[in-house]
Amino acid sequence: MRTKPQPTTSIATSDAQRILIRGHDLVEDLIGQVSFTEMFLLQLTGQRPSAAQVRVLDAVLVTLMEHGITPSVIATRLIYHSAPDALQAAVAAGLLGVGTTFIGTMEGCAANLEEMLAAPEGVEARARAIALRHKEAGKAVHGFGHPHHKPDDPRTPRMLAVAEREGVPGRHLAALRTLSAQVDDVYGRHLTINATGASAALLGEIGIPQKVMRGVAVVSRSAGLVGHIQEEITRPSAVYIWETVDEAIPYR
Amino acid sequence: MRTKPQPTTSIATSDAQRILIRGHDLVEDLIGQVSFTEMFLLQLTGQRPSAAQVRVLDAVLVTLMEHGITPSVIATRLIYHSAPDALQAAVAAGLLGVGTTFIGTMEGCAANLEEMLAAPEGVEARARAIALRHKEAGKAVHGFGHPHHKPDDPRTPRMLAVAEREGVPGRHLAALRTLSAQVDDVYGRHLTINATGASAALLGEIGIPQKVMRGVAVVSRSAGLVGHIQEEITRPSAVYIWETVDEAIPYR
Amino acid sequence: MRTKPQPTTSIATSDAQRILIRGHDLVEDLIGQVSFTEMFLLQLTGQRPSAAQVRVLDAVLVTLMEHGITPSVIATRLIYHSAPDALQAAVAAGLLGVGTTFIGTMEGCAANLEEMLAAPEGVEARARAIALRHKEAGKAVHGFGHPHHKPDDPRTPRMLAVAEREGVPGRHLAALRTLSAQVDDVYGRHLTINATGASAALLGEIGIPQKVMRGVAVVSRSAGLVGHIQEEITRPSAVYIWETVDEAIPYR
Amino acid sequence: MRTKPQPTTSIATSDAQRILIRGHDLVEDLIGQVSFTEMFLLQLTGQRPSAAQVRVLDAVLVTLMEHGITPSVIATRLIYHSAPDALQAAVAAGLLGVGTTFIGTMEGCAANLEEMLAAPEGVEARARAIALRHKEAGKAVHGFGHPHHKPDDPRTPRMLAVAEREGVPGRHLAALRTLSAQVDDVYGRHLTINATGASAALLGEIGIPQKVMRGVAVVSRSAGLVGHIQEEITRPSAVYIWETVDEAIPYR
């Protein structure tokens, strides 16, 4: 007994001769003609993206790919050492860390921008309300501040410049700048727009829904983690990491 | 007590003002200037790739991204339904299926090509030996044959044509064609070079090590799975899948 | 530069001759003397549990292990087919479904019980407030109701009877019954206490912190999934599942 | 078009009033009457186990649960910090490390024991052949040797004693001892039977198929990892681990 009507998919279909993805012939129209990033946007939105949208997504994917020795990288290297015949598991272990603590702030920032853009009282008034609400609750405003990059995250102005150069509509960029001004004013000091905040605005500009933005980070980070596996193959670190951590946390 | 010398990394470093990835300044040299695929090759190999290498990798990434309702897609949709607040876990669940049964054949094909290219007796003689060895063992030759795409996988000629158009060295392409001729001769019938076989040759042409090739499939597939999550958000299928499978496997 | 004081662990240590877990000698005191469930409680709480606590945890672990063809089971069977050499990945894929949609209700129920037990106005008054709050918000009260088991989940009375037989303190059991009465009254119809609701009360009785309760379900379910992998090895279903789902979701 | 006959399951079924698992009524026959370990054996084998089989499995599950700060534990703690709202993902990340490098030796040992027990020339002759084969190939014999526990792994004699006390048939235990004598003789020095070797023999004695033995380790380790998450909640170590590893692997 089915409780739901039959679902359908509009992503892909194939027969012996032909593979259609989002209505386009994979062989005739896509392989050799579109980049990974263009294909990703087609897969995600169902629409052939503009060149500008592709470049904006590339800017986000390039920014988020690699951050040095992160928790995800450590997990991936250790799991690769434990199961080197299952490379996919090592990548998956690291990707499980693309969660609320780090990349979740991108979604929180995007939600704030969407709230501002939909507010009947106007973007600026709602920006101030958001900043005040967070300050009163003693919570950080998602997308602002950075533990190492002070006073300013160097990635942010470049990311915003790319989006402006590409001529995106600009509503999310403007909202982010408005929110930034209100945050600085309400908190009484300058808090940098960080790279996840900028990512939220850029992805908003090219129509990526807020609920799936984390997926963009997952894709970008998967490439970063594969690079670390390749380095782990040629310059193994996992046993050293293990011994170092074991020594660093004494039994008491 | 450490049993190993201290490992180092040459992937990334940063300070308050600057982020270096593979020796390049992320802000000055990369964001807004390179595509995801170019950045992935830089991350993976440590070298700025040529435009040809980027386009060849794009051809592989575009080909492998999406295959309709696969085991990985079903796993991702069901896990997303079970834990919608942890999108990364849904992608990870699907990626855990990028294993030996499907994508492992790419690695097997790449190993055969490398064996041929290193054989003192020459590529053709070793190709025949490989075909004979597999036939006698009753095993499929990795990278050949396809359950649905008969007589030929339509993706393969396009993928090989892209690589040739881009002017790659061509040794892996030639080896794959040599192996194909010997496989047809030894098995006494035509077995198509499939898309994973072609992927093995293309990735070999651009210097991706055989041991990390599965990672390229993982990255590509991650983008495909994010597309299915977006469709699942707007057109949910998970409960229907669950009920359908539950009915399809009776208790006995 | 470390930003935090050095952490320590009190779980385990070892030297060449001896392995200590939670202060007990693994060989002398534990292997052959304690059951898995007793060991799990020792690992989790740092204390040797009473026989009653062990039996209550056993009741929860036995109840949650197996539920037929669930989303987690389908994911595990499909991923096992895709990567049969990495059994751990197949279990992990299924466990990723032990999330908010299903087992999260156990945590929600436990949070409600803890809120009631800490309420200055008394358990019953707070139970009524909780029921009203959920009804007004149009939300289900976690731990109540079941789509198939009507009018009552048959597992619940047995689970509660086990806890009572074992002589647990009983505050969480009483709170759950109080909440049940208020839920029925506020909603104007009988909503069964389901097995996750009963699990929340039982785990509360034996001192399992609410934030780690999901981990008990993960452990129990891992055993269930290993059973399905064993059946999949001897009676494969994955290809059939795949084909069935592919047919069930047409391209449109 | 289905390519396979319809599969069936004999694990579980339910209706509104009743849940049957392996033919037993969950409420009437199992909850409150069997331990987790007994239920796990029923789930895995379809048979109600003897008390001896339960105690032998308990010995293995207790032995494998906890090993201090392992790669799996580090991965779990880091991923928990990154996504604390998805506890199941943190456990899954650690379980992905239950792979070939560590626990795979249990399966290798079990395969050797099964090869010996099936050998027409007898157990001892095949044991010698196995030892010689590994020595000539320069490979470790799975289940023998330990980096820290020298000269002998203290867990092994206790595990074997438990199995003997419980009166298991004893063929796998005898085979393991025969293999041990031949390994010492062929290698010309004493190599301890380690805990994974002993686990292989004990699981063989109670009828756990070699192909699913890794699953027993996965279940046991899942409980260990939940204990580490609970410690991480109360005494966080993840940021310290991250900073320590980042410092330990310099950029060069």
pLDDT in tens, C136-174: 999 999 999 998 898 999 999 999 999 999 999 999 999
pLDDT attached to residue C5: 82
Give the Cα separation of B135 and B187 in Å (integer).
7
Of B32, B66, B96, the CB nearest to A88: B96
* Residue contact A101–D89, C-beta within 8 A: no
Instruction: Give yes or no for C248 touching A (CB within 8 A).
Output: yes
Structure confidence at residue D4 as a pLDDT band (50, 70, 90): low
Higher pLDDT, A104 or B131: B131
Q: Which chain D residues have a beta carbon less than 8 Å from that of C96?
A: 88-89, 92
Higher pLDDT, D51 or C1: D51
Which residue ranges of chain A lie beneath pLDDT 50? 1
Mean pLDDT, residues C183-191: 97
Give the Cα separation of C14 and C20 in Å (integer).
6
Residue D99 has pLDDT above 70, yes or no: yes
Nearest-10 crossing angle of helices B213-234, B51-64: 50
* Residue contact D82–A98, C-beta within 8 A: yes
Tally C–D CB contacts below 8 A.
281
Count CB atoms within 10 A of the CB of residue A32: 20
Q: Which chain B residues have a beta carbon less than 8 Å from that of C74?
A: 74-75, 78, 241-242, 245
Q: Which residues contact B147 (CB under 8 A, 6 or more apart)?
A: none
Residue C40 has pLDDT above 90, yes or no: yes
Domain boundaries, chain C: 11-49, 104-211
Cα-based torsion angle of the residue sequence C232, C236, C240, C246 in order, rounded to the nearest 10 degrees: 50
pLDDT tens digits along B137-172: 999 999 999 988 989 999 999 999 999 999 999 999
pLDDT attached to residue D3: 58
Residue D2 has pLDDT above 60, yes or no: no
pLDDT attached to residue D5: 82
- Candidates B221, D141, C87; CA nearest to A83 is C87
Give the Cα separation of C106 and C118 in Å (integer).
18
Residue B25 has pLDDT above 90, yes or no: yes
pLDDT attached to residue B214: 98
Of A20, A86, A252, the CB nearest to C86: A86
Three-state secondary structure readout of chain B:
CCCCCCCCECCEEECCCCEEECCEEHHHHHCCCCCHHHHHHHHHHCCCCCHHHHHHHHHHHHHHCCCCCCHHHHHHHHHHHHCCCCHHHHHHHHHCCCCCCCCHHHHHHHHHHHHHHCCCCCHHHHHHHHHHHHHHCCCCCCCECCCCCCCCCCHHHHHHHHHHHCCCCCHHHHHHHHHHHHHHHHHCCCCCECHHHHHHHHHHHCCCCHHHHHHHHHHHHHHHHHHHHHHHHHCCCHHHHHHHHHHHCCEC
Q: Which chain B residues have a beta carbon less than 8 Å from that of C237?
A: 249
Of A9, A15, A219, the CB nearest to B223: A219
Say if residues C21 and D66 touch (Cβ distance below 8 Å).
yes
CA D228 to each of CA A95, C41, D232: distance values in angstroms, whole numbers, following the listed order: 20, 12, 6
Residue B215 has pLDDT above 70, yes or no: yes
Judged on CB neighbours under 10 Å (0-12, 13-18, 19+), B20 is middle
Tally B–C CB contacts below 8 A.
137
Residue C4 has pLDDT above 70, yes or no: no
pLDDT attached to residue A5: 83
pLDDT tens digits along D171-212: 999 999 999 999 999 999 999 999 999 999 999 999 999 999
Instruction: Name the pairing type of β-strands C24-25 and C19-21.
Output: antiparallel
Chain mean pLDDT for chain D: 96
Q: Which chain C residues have a beta carbon less than 8 Å from that of D14?
A: 67-68, 148
Buried b (16+ CB within 10 A) or exposed e, D172-190: bbebbebbbebbeebbeee
Tally A–D CB contacts below 8 A.
137
Higher pLDDT, D103 or B227: B227
pLDDT tens digits along B109-121: 999 999 999 999 9
Mutation pick from A62, A158, A165, A208 vs chain B, by most beta carbons of B within 10 Å, is A62
Of C8, C92, C251, the CB nearest to A252: C8
* Residue contact B30–A62, C-beta within 8 A: yes
Give the Cα separation of A55 and B106 in Å (integer).
30
* Residue contact B249–D89, C-beta within 8 A: no
As a whole number of Å, the CA-based R_g of chain A is: 21
What's A20's DSSP letter? E
In angstroms, what separates the C-alpha of D189 from chain C's closest C-alpha? 18
Instruction: Give yes or no for B106 touching C (CB within 8 A).
Output: no
Chain mean pLDDT for chain B: 96
What CATH superfamily is the domain C104-211?
Cytochrome P450-Terp, domain 2 (1.10.230.10)
Give the Cα separation of C213 and C142 in Å (integer).
14
Instruction: Give yes or no for C167 touching D (CB within 8 A).
Output: no
In angstroms, what separates the C-alpha of A170 from chain D's closest C-alpha? 32
pLDDT attached to residue B34: 98
Mean pLDDT, residues C54-75: 98
Of B30, B88, B155, the CB nearest to A27: B155
Give contacts of B 56-95 with A, CB under 8 A. 57-59, 61-63, 65-69, 86-89, 91-93, 95
Give the Cα separation of C208 and C216 in Å (integer).
9
B50-252: CATH architecture: Orthogonal Bundle (1.10)
Q: Which residues contact A169 (CB under 8 A, 6 or more apart)?
A: A205
User: Which of B69-78, C169-178, D148-157, D213-222 is predicted with the least confidence, judged by mean pLDDT?
Assistant: D148-157
Q: Which residues contact B54 (CB under 8 A, 6 or more apart)?
A: B35, B37, B38, B41
